[in-house]
Structure 1
Amino acid sequence: MTKKLKYASAIFAILTISLGAMNAKADNDSNGKDDNGKNNFPAGITKQIQALDINKLLSNIKISDDDLKSKPASLTINPNGEFKLNGGVVVTIPATGNPSFTVKSWGITFTVNYSTLTNLRAQNGAMLITELHVGDIVNIQGKIDANGVVLATRVENLSIASSEQNIQLRNQINALIERLNLLLGKAGLPPVATPTTTQAMVVPTLATVSPASTTFGSAGLTLTLTGTNFTSASVAKWAGIALTTTFVSATQLNAAIPAANVATTTNVLITAFNPGTYGGTSNALPFSVQ
């Protein structure tokens, strides 16, 4: 059964049930007459409705998760190659050293290439490419070439909150736990289990990146990151790719930038990442190779 027929069947079933509910009182006998004696309905319609096995009817309507995901999808490709996809489903995610992923919409799988110039977005905030997962719903804008490969200028992940939102949520949860424990203390009850001080402060934040730029073709360099909540497990990242990182203190990290990263002009985002249950990715700061 095609998707359109599935939805049509579902609508028909709902309308049938509604009709039976509205007419059950009016059709009190088997001759089809209503309370005023008028022949408004076919004879025995109430019994026919009552005899319907609604559960069996509905069980024949199979709407998969893919149907629901693809229902709002829209795809536009202009003659000049402009590509716009809303509501596509991620099929494969980028492999190490391969800046591309695949997305499916309307039964077609597209290869999507991205670069450091691609605007990666989550809901209301920036996104790292490492935050893209199979099954995520995405919007994509860019150009499609003659081979059907899309060079994305913007990728928006609708399935995740941004790193900034995650940090805000963590802070709100910690504040709620503190308030709850105050109330429990006044009631003479023990506090609920809360993260330790170390655990509660392992989502890093970035304040500065120094230097903020370099000249292309130059030798490798050491980047100094300042901020808060750094740990010995913290990792600095270049456009989502881990760098060799040295922990200096809770407010400073040093990261080694290899010469290959600055061989050509580019603009990238620098972030800090802390692993673990209470870890996360910091806000991003720009770095320019000119």
Structure 2
Amino acid sequence: MASEVVRDSLWRYFAEFVGTFILMLFGDGAVVASLVTNGTSPGYGFIMISWGFGVVLAIYAVGPISGAHINPNVTLAFAVTKRMKWRDVIPYILFQTLGAAAAAGILLAWWGSIITKMDPPPTLYAQVGASFFTEYPNPSFWGQYWPKELLLPNSASGTSLFSEVNQVFPLWIGAFAELLMTFLLLLIVLAVTDTDSPFFNQSLAPWAIGIGYVMPFLLFEAQLTGGMINEARSWGPMLALYLFGYRTGAFNFRGQYFFVYGIPDFIGGILGALFWDYVLKPYLKYLKSNNKK
């Protein structure tokens, strides 16, 4: 019996690896392809579509096995609201991160020779970093705040520009954006996957999440923070890039992975799930009971 439980858990963990791999290969693949082709193709609209369909396909592929969290924020919020066991949280997040790292590794295998010509290791600059993981402000739209001198380790240059970035894009704005959008992500996820919801539909849920939410959200929020709302989306590529030889540079500009990403996203996800459970869902149950009468 114990061996069956372990085997069942491993299948679910591996499914999270596969689902996150699919998501990242589609989403990051479009972004990296845009980088190596000097922005000529694919365009921003195509990148947005690739992320949306990446979510849809990942959910269809592994949803019946693991629930297709493919996102540490979903996993933690589900544990807090007792939708999954706490013992599965760390393995889920670990396999999600490894799946994202594997997808980034594939992209490096395909285009690594071109990327290293643009930014030779060991210093990683924003041009490459922005295509693999999220940074705030997004270098793809605000490149004027990402000169290479600013990212050199122990560099005294760029001090005035560093101050300007903090004035124009203070960390609290990025943190609030990530918290709010992750809040809404969990709210939408539960609105279409909770069996108590009148919109519960297992077949249509992937489209509601991937196309109904992720694509429109990326249309505007990605221009600010890169639209992470998923720690594996950045942690995995960071691991792959580090193993590829990039040791310093744009991994944690201004300490944003403490103040902007991660913590605000986790908090936003938990608040979104709690808002559904304790604010919206009770009223739905009330309406349901009244209709029966």
Taking structure 2 as the reference length, what is the TM-score of the superposition? 0.23
The structure whose residues are more often strand, as a share, is 1
The structure whose Rg is larger is 1
By relative contact order (CA 8 Å, sep 6+), the higher-ranking structure is 2
Structure with bigger helix share is 2
